[in-house]
Structures are given as C-alpha cells and as structure tokens.
Amino acid sequence: MRMKLVAASVGVCVLLGASHAWAHHAFAAEFDVNKPLTLKGSLVKWDMVNPHSWFHVNVKGPDGKVVEWLVEGGSPNQLIRMGVTKTTVPIGTELTIEGYQSKDGTNKAVGRNFVLADGKRLFLGGSAGSVSDPSKIK
C-alpha cells in the first residue's frame, strides 16, 4: 500500500488509502476537505461503537500543551468478527493520524490513515487473522 507522510502545515497532505464509498453517512458533510491535518499522539481510549468508532488521542501542541482529539474510524462489528478487541490497539500506542478536521473547528477529525510509530499502517483487518471464525473471537 502506497503511503507518504507530508506535513499538513505546508498544505500538501498526501493521504492515500481506500476509496470505497460504502458508508452510512457522507463524511464530507461532517469534516472539512479544506482542513487536512496530521496528528501525532498517543491513544488514550478507543470507543468501539457503531456506526463509527472513535479514537481518543492525546496530541501535544507546539506550546507543549496536551490536547485530546477525537478521531472517527470504522464500524467495529467487522473488526470484532475478525478477532479485534479493544485491547488490539493498546492504550498508549503512538499514532500518526492523517485526516480532515471537523467543519465546526472542534478537536475532531476523520482518520484517513492511522500509522504506527514504526511507519507501518495500522491494519486492523489483516492483522487479526481469519474471518468468519467464531474461535477467533476473543
């Protein structure tokens, strides 16, 4: 999977990922295409709720102040079926999240890409093993 990280501050945010349009609502209505961003921080909580999960991430700003951001991700149902649990991504995991900020300017974003500290994409599906196998459910 191609992926490049470029600072949003320079206005060139190269975000690559799936383009599938299946979704239960239009994300472009919730988040601002003109506000691409890159967040670096540590996971403090993952709400595995439908229709969309929310990652709570502590992000340290330029002034050293830590601010909590909420980042929207995918439906947990499929992940649970694949064996993913709340602990699959441990609290404290360092993440770089590329996405778009909410239109209302609050600290919310959609997570276009979730990247781990070693540069690998957080790939919940493929890392979880076989699907449709109840024994995989932890």
Residues near other proteins, by CB under 8 A: 1-2, 13-33, 36, 47, 49-52, 54, 72-75, 77-82, 84, 99-100, 102-105, 108, 110-114, 121-126, 128-134
Identity of residue 30? E
CB atoms within 10 A of CB 69: 21
Q: What is the closest distance, in whole angstroms, from the C-beta atom of residue 101 to other proteins in the complex?
A: 10
What are phi and psi for residue 8, nearest 5 degrees? -65, -25
Q: What is the closest distance, in whole angstroms, from the C-beta atom of residue 91 to other proteins in the complex?
A: 19
Q: Would you say 4 or 60 has its CB closer to other proteins?
A: 4
Q: What is the closest distance, in whole angstroms, from the C-beta atom of residue 76 to other proteins in the complex?
A: 8
Q: Would you say 42 or 75 has its CB closer to other proteins?
A: 75
Rounded to whole angstroms, how far apart are CA atoms 138 and 136?
A: 6
Q: What is the closest distance, in whole angstroms, from the C-beta atom of residue 42 to other proteins in the complex?
A: 18
CA distances from 14 to 17, 32, 44 (A): 10, 15, 26
Q: Would you say 29 or 65 has its CB closer to other proteins?
A: 29
Rounded to whole angstroms, how far apart are CA atoms 101 and 69?
A: 10
Q: Would you say 59 or 73 has its CB closer to other proteins?
A: 73
Q: What is the closest distance, in whole angstroms, from the C-beta atom of residue 17 to other proteins in the complex?
A: 3
Identity of residue 119? G
| 94, 116 contact by CB (below 8 A) | yes
β-pair partners for 42: 58, 94
Q: Would you say 39 or 124 has its CB closer to other proteins?
A: 124
